[in-house]
Amino acid sequence: MIHAYQETYLNRAQSVLGDAFDYAINTCGIAGDDFIKLFLTSTVSSRMENGEPSVLTGRSGIEAVSEIVYETTNDRITNEPKERFERSKEYWIGWAVAYYQWYSNRRYSEIFKVLTFYDLQQMYHTLHEADISKFVDVVDSRIREYFKDTNLKRIRMEYGCTQAELAKRAGVNLRSIQMYEQRNKDINKASIDTVHRLAKNLGCTVEDLIEK
């Protein structure tokens, strides 16, 4: 599996997002779902997805919250961080989601489209002491249920292109496209040239078409 960025940055990413959730919600009084919206709107989320060192290692979770809030609302955060003796529920939520994003290479917007802050709070009670792989399994299951269409079908339909049109433009056999969309053939095992031509004609990246 292709992960979002080098594993050497993973622990730091988890710490940053964990601290960010804890500080934003427990110290600044921002509602969980509201903070998620601010996070997704900011450039911090996309920069974390890409493993940008300046975000993952160059700042704390508190500094990340300040940047997120200022960038999205133009407000300055002045709340003094509280002393924490153990990980809060909110810290675990950010920590676990950061791990899943790295592991799956999915966008944060996809993850939070499937999981609300309330969902994650409920998962905390049964999963926070379990191995992180249990969290991954649960989230994978929910995401597969939510995104029932393959990435190829979903992106093709959003693009407004029929299977036949895509086959002609990309020079890919129509039956192959049909089988990829029906999961009768695994697009992850297709040649890089085939996936590249499909992606180019749908205005997306190769990674967007890969099934995770």
122, HSE (Cβ side, Cα atoms, 13 Å) = 7
**pLDDT digit string (tens) for 131-162?**
999 999 999 999 888 888 899 999 999 999 99
**Ranges of each domain in the chain:** 7-146, 151-209
Own/partner pairs, 186-189, CB within 8 angstroms, 24+ separation: 186/211, 187/150, 187/151, 187/152, 187/211
CATH number of 151-209: 1.10.260.40
Is the Cβ–Cβ distance between 108 and 44 less than 8 Å?
A: no
Statement: the pTM of the whole predicted model exceeds 0.85 = no
Q: What is the pLDDT of residue 1?
A: 63
| Distance of alpha carbon 2 from alpha carbon 211, whole angstroms | 11
